[in-house]
Structure 1
Amino acid sequence: MQDIQSLMDREDATGLANLVKAREVSHSELLEAAIARLELVEPQLNAVAEKLYDTARKAPTFDGPFAGVPTLIKDLFSPLTEARMTSGSIALGEARPGLDDAVVSRLRTAGCQFIGTSTSPEFGTSYTTESTRFGATRNPWDTTRSAGGSSGGAAALVAARVVPFAHGNDGGGSLRVPASCCGVFGLKPSRGRMPSGPLIGEGWAGMGTPHAITLSVRDSAALLDVTAGADLGAPYAAPHQSIPFVDCLTRRPTRLRIAVIEHLAPWTSSAEALAAVRHTAQLCQELGHQVKQTTLPVNPLPVLDAMFDIIGASTRSYVDMLGKLRNQPVADEELEPRTRIILRERGAVSGARYADGVASLHALGRDLARFLCDYDLILTPTLTREPPRIGTLDAFDDRLDLATLIEHFHSYSPFTSLFNASGQPAMSVPLYWSPNGLPIGSHFAARFGEEGTLLALAAQLEEAQPWRGRVPVVNALQR
C-alpha cells in the first residue's frame, strides 16, 4: 500500500491507468488506496454525499482508457445506478433512480471505479457548496473558506489529492468557480458537446453541461475524448472535433489574440483578482501571445434576468416532477430559502417569457461571436475576490428578493455564467495564489466549439507554470 500511495501522490488519472494497463498496479489496489485517502481528509472537508465503498469493491472491472482509476460522481441531476440522488436537497429523501447518467455510463465503460458521490448545494443554484442536507463543504486551503459551488465537493477532493479527477457539471460556473477556489483545473465544454440523457433532454435550456475537475490538463482532454458526443436522441450537438482532444495538447498554439477584461460593470474586481488576471496576461505575453486590455460589450443584468427566467421555470418543473414521483407535493419548508426565492419570483413565468429568455441567450451568443472575430480568446478573472468564509455567500432568508440574490452571487462571479448563456467553452486555470495563500483562477473563453484552443493554451500554461506542486493544507499525500 505504501508504494500505491506514492504512485497516487505523483500520477494523474492517465498515468494511473497506464500503470494498470502495464500490470504494475491492480484495480483493487487503486480502489483501496483512494478509499484510505478519502477517509483521511473527509472529516475536515465534508465533501462526500454518499460513500460507495462496498459496491465499488463488488463491481466488475473494465479495461477502458481509465481502467482502475477511482473517482466520484457529483450528486446533482447525475444518476448513478448504485447511489441515491439527492441533488443536495432534503426533499429527495433516499431516492435511488437505479440507472446511469449518459456520462456516468461512459466513465464506467472507460474503466473508472466509483467510490462515492460528491456534495452539491440544493439544485446547484449556489456558488458555494453549503446545504441543509449535508452542511458546508470546506476548502482544503483554508477550512474556514468555501470550496465554491456547485461542484465544490469534487473540487475539494481533487485539490486534496484524494482522486486525480472528479465528475461535475456546470450551469453558471459550477465547474470553474470551485476550480478557482480550490486551485485546480476546470473546463466547461461547449453547448451540445456532452450527452445529457437519459433523464434530462437539456439542462437549463442548454446552459448546463457535465464534465470534470482535474489536476492535469491532459486528464481533462482525455476525459473529453471518452465522454464527449451527443447521446441518442439529443436535440443538438456541438461541432465535430476532427482530432482527439489529447492531440491538441501537443500542438503549441500559434500567436493568440487575447482580449483581457478586468471588470464587468456594474461590478468590480478586487485587488487580488486583478493581480491574478494581470499575472496571467503577462505570462501569456511572455509565451508570445498578443494581449490587449479592453471591455466586453455586454450588460450582464438583462442576461441574468433571462437566465433566471429559465432557471426558475426549470426548477419549478423539477420540483413538480419530484412531487409526482413520490405522490406528495414538495412543501416550501422542504426547500432552502434560495430555492424558495427563485420559485416565488420566477417559478411561474409564462411560456412566452421563457421563450424570450432563450432568445436572449442566443442573442448573447451572436454578440460574443462577433466580438471574437477580432480575438481568439477572452481572459477574465474567474472570480472577483478570494473564496469567502463559510456561511457568508449563501446567507439568505426567503424574505429577500431575487435582485438581492443576483447581486450577492454575481458580484462574486460575474463572468462565468455569460459563457453558459452563450454556449461557449470556458476554463479556469490555477496560476495565482493570493498573499493569504488562497488560489484565484484565471478564466478563458473561446469561440463555440473550440475546446482545442483552450486545451492547447492550458497545456502551454501548465508547462510554463506548473501548479501540481502546490498542495493545500488539507491533503491526502503520503507522509
Structure 2
Amino acid sequence: MKLSEYVECDATELASLVRAGEVTPVELTRLAREAHDEVNPRVNAVVEFYEDAETVAGEDGGIFHGVPFLRKDIGETEAGRLQEKGSRLFKGCRSDTDSYYFRRAREAGLRTIGRSATPELGSTVMTESFLNGITRNPWDLERSAGGSSGGAAAAVAAGITPIAHGSDGGGSIRIPASWCGLVGLNPSRGRISGGPNNQDASFGLSRAFVLCRTVRDMAAALDAFSGPHAGDPFIIVQPNRSYVEELSQPTGRLRVGVARTSWGTINLEPEVLHAVEATAELLQEMGHMVGDIDPPYEPIEYSRRAFARANASANFLEMAARAMGRTISADTLEPVNLKWYEFGRDLPLSGAVDLQEVLRRMRFSVGEAIHAFDILLTPTMPVVAVPHGGIYSATHPTLSAEESAEADTAICQYTGVFNVTGQPSVSLPLSQSSSGLPIGMQIVGRFGEEATLVRVARDLEEASPWSYRQPMIRAGNLKLERP
C-alpha cells in the first residue's frame, strides 16, 4: 500500500484490508509514521510518536483490526506512557493506570502509536501551549485546529491516522471536528465508561470518544467503546442492536428544531447561517418536520458553571503538584490557567454544592425548552476557524479568569450546553466557506439515543457527501498553497 492510498481509507476500510491479508498492521503503522514525518512538522498535531509503535498490542480480528490510533494527551490513560496534559506542571509524568477506554481500543484491534497535542489542561478551544507550541489547522496553517482535541483533529484531517481519541467537556471533540472538517460525536453521559479511576469525569460534563472522517467509523467506534463497567455511577440504557447495524435501518420521520439565531454574544457568520438554512432544507426534503427553536438558556447560566467548579479544579492542581513535589507558579502554569487557579483557590469548599445546583437548573430549563423535538440542528460553531492566539488561548498574557469564561461561553454557545444536559451531539462537515474552510453542523439527539444520530448522520452524509473536500496539508498529496 502506498501512502497516497493509505490516506484515502477510513478506519473501517483499513481494517477490512488487514483481515483480507492485503496489508499488515505493521505496514499500516509504518505508513502512519511516513505520514507523520511528512505533515507533522507543518501542523504540530502529534507530540510523541512511540518508538515502539510497531510492536504495540492490539487484538487480531477486532472491528478496527490493525488500524493506527492516537491518544489525546489528557484524560484516558495508558499504563507506563507519558501523560503531560499539555502542561509544564505535568512534564515527564507517566500514568500507572490503563483506562477501560484503551483496554477496549486494544480489544477492537486499534494500535495506539502516539500522543496528540492538547492545550494546557484541555482548558481552551485553541490547541496551543508553552510546552508543545501551536497546533495548526491543515486547511489553513494560520488558523486554529480547535481544542481541546485539536491535535487529534489535525492529525486525522492531515492523514496521519484515520481515527483518534478525543474527549469533550464543553465542545472539545465537536469544535475541532467543525474547524478541521471531520465527524465528531460527543456521546451521551454514561455511554463511554471513564473507569477505573475517572468515572463521570468533571461532574459529568466530560466524555471520551473519537474523531474520524466517516459516519460508519463513528458507528463502529460506538460499538467498540460503549458499555458499562463495574463502579460506573449509573448504567445508561443499552442499544437494541449494534450501531453498525443502525446504518442499514430506516430513520423515520423526526421533529427537528433548528437554531437560526445566536445563543450567545457572538453572532453567526453569514456563511454559517447559510449552512444551517441549507441543512434544514435538506432535512425537510427528507420528510422531517422542521421548526425553529429559540435559545434554550441564558449565557450567564453556562458561565456560572465555570466559576462554580473553579475551587475543585484548584484543589486538584494543588494535590497533583504536591504529589509530584512541584509548585504552582508562572513557571508551571500558563497565564490564564494560573489566574483560574488563584481565583478558585480562594473560593469556599461549598462551590461543589453550588455547581451541582447550577447544572441541575440548567438541565431542567433546557430540557423543557427542547422537549418538543426529536433532534436539534444547530451550527457547531458560530464562526469558522479563528486565527491563532487572542482571547481564546490560555497563553494570553493579560486575560482575566472572568474574561476567559465570557469568551468561552460566547464561542461554545452551541456545544457546552449539551455537556450539561448529557445529550449526544455530533458535528458533521456539511459545508464550507467561500475561502475553503470547513463549517460543521451539529445534530443533537435525545439522551441515550445515539442510534438516531447514526441514522440521521448517515442520511446527511449520503445526501451531502464531504469526502471529496481535502485540506491544504494532507499526507501523500501535500499542497504547499491553496489552489
Say which is worse superposed, 382-391 or 403-412, in terms of deviation. 403-412
Residue 344 of structure 2 aligns with which residue? 346
Residue 325 of structure 2 aligns with which residue? 327
Deviation, 1:348, is: 4.2
Residue 171 of structure 2 aligns with which residue? 173
For the residue of structure 1 that corresponds to 2:350, the secondary structure is helix
Residue 100 of structure 1 aligns with which residue? 98
How many Å separate the matches in 1 of 2:171 and 2:155?
Answer: 18
For the residue of structure 1 that corresponds to 2:16, the secondary structure is helix
How many Å separate the matches in 1 of 2:28 and 2:312?
Answer: 39
Residue 305 of structure 1 aligns with which residue? 304
Q: Quick check: 2:78–2:98 contact (8 Å CA) kept in 1?
A: yes
Deviation, 1:255, is: 1.5
Say which is worse superposed, 102-111 or 424-433, in terms of deviation. 102-111
Deviation, 1:276, is: 2.0
For the residue of structure 2 that corresponds to 1:378, the secondary structure is strand
Mark the CA change 1:316 to 1:230 in structure 2 (over 3 Å): closer, same or farther: farther
Say which is worse superposed, 176-185 or 299-308, in terms of deviation. 299-308
How many Å separate the matches in 2 of 1:232 and 1:131?
Answer: 36
Aligned counterparts, 1:273-312, within 5 A: 273-310=272-309, 312=310
Mark the CA change 1:19 to 1:303 in structure 2 (over 3 Å): closer, same or farther: same
Matching residue within 204, 207, 210 for 1:206 = 204
Residue 49 of structure 2 aligns with which residue? 51
Deviation, 1:396, is: 5.6
Give, as a single letter, the amino acid of the residue that structure 1 aligns with 2:55: K
How many Å separate the matches in 2 of 1:10 and 1:398?
Answer: 41
Aligned counterparts, 1:156-195, within 5 A: 156-195=154-193
Say which is worse superposed, 76-85 or 36-45, in terms of deviation. 76-85
Deviation, 1:201, is: 3.2
Deviation, 1:29, is: 1.0
Residue 426 of structure 2 aligns with which residue? 427
Residue 377 of structure 1 aligns with which residue? 375
Cα-to-partner distance string for 1:86-129 (whole Å, 9 max, x where unaligned): 11101112111133222112101211111210000011110010
Structure 1, gaps ≥5 residues long: none
Q: Quick check: 1:190–1:423 contact (8 Å CA) kept in 2?
A: yes
Q: Quick check: 1:191–1:206 contact (8 Å CA) kept in 2?
A: yes
For the residue of structure 2 that corresponds to 1:127, the secondary structure is coil
How many Å separate the matches in 1 of 2:409 and 2:57?
Answer: 44
Say which is worse superposed, 402-411 or 11-20, in terms of deviation. 402-411
Q: Quick check: 1:13–1:165 contact (8 Å CA) kept in 2?
A: yes
Residue 59 of structure 2 aligns with which residue? 62
Q: Quick check: 1:307–1:421 contact (8 Å CA) kept in 2?
A: no
Residue 41 of structure 1 aligns with which residue? 39
Mark the CA change 1:247 to 1:304 in structure 2 (over 3 Å): closer, same or farther: farther
How many Å separate the matches in 1 of 2:28 and 2:305?
Answer: 45
The TM-score, its normalising length taken from structure 1, stands at 0.95
Deviation, 1:16, is: 1.1
Mark the CA change 1:399 to 1:475 in structure 2 (over 3 Å): closer, same or farther: closer
Say which is worse superposed, 290-299 or 117-126, in terms of deviation. 290-299
Residue 14 of structure 1 aligns with which residue? 12
Deviation, 1:61, is: 4.2
How many Å separate the matches in 1 of 2:151 and 2:409?
Answer: 21
Mark the CA change 1:343 to 1:457 in structure 2 (over 3 Å): closer, same or farther: same
Q: Quick check: 1:322–1:330 contact (8 Å CA) kept in 2?
A: no
For the residue of structure 2 that corresponds to 1:190, the secondary structure is coil
Q: Quick check: 2:7–2:162 contact (8 Å CA) kept in 1?
A: no
Deviation, 1:35, is: 1.0
**Number of paired residues?**
475
1:462 aligns with 2:461: yes
How many Å separate the matches in 2 of 1:66 and 1:209?
Answer: 21
How many Å separate the matches in 2 of 1:121 and 1:164?
Answer: 22
How many Å separate the matches in 2 of 1:215 and 1:347?
Answer: 41
How many Å separate the matches in 1 of 2:477 and 2:329?
Answer: 47
How many Å separate the matches in 2 of 1:339 and 1:106?
Answer: 32
Say which is worse superposed, 65-74 or 280-289, in terms of deviation. 280-289
For the residue of structure 2 that corresponds to 1:40, the secondary structure is helix
The TM-score, its normalising length taken from structure 2, stands at 0.94
Cα-to-partner distance string for 1:263-297 (whole Å, 9 max, x where unaligned): 11444212122122122112212222221123023
Deviation, 1:6, is: 4.7
Deviation, 1:305, is: 0.9
Cα-to-partner distance string for 1:208-257 (whole Å, 9 max, x where unaligned): 00000010111111111111123321112322222111122222311211
Say which is worse superposed, 276-285 or 58-67, in terms of deviation. 58-67
Aligned counterparts, 1:148-163, within 5 A: 148-163=146-161
How many Å separate the matches in 2 of 1:348 and 1:219?
Answer: 45
Cα-to-partner distance string for 1:22-68 (whole Å, 9 max, x where unaligned): 2221111111111111111101000112111x322223442122110
Aligned counterparts, 1:65-76, within 5 A: 65-76=63-74
RMSD over equivalenced CA pairs, Å: 1.8
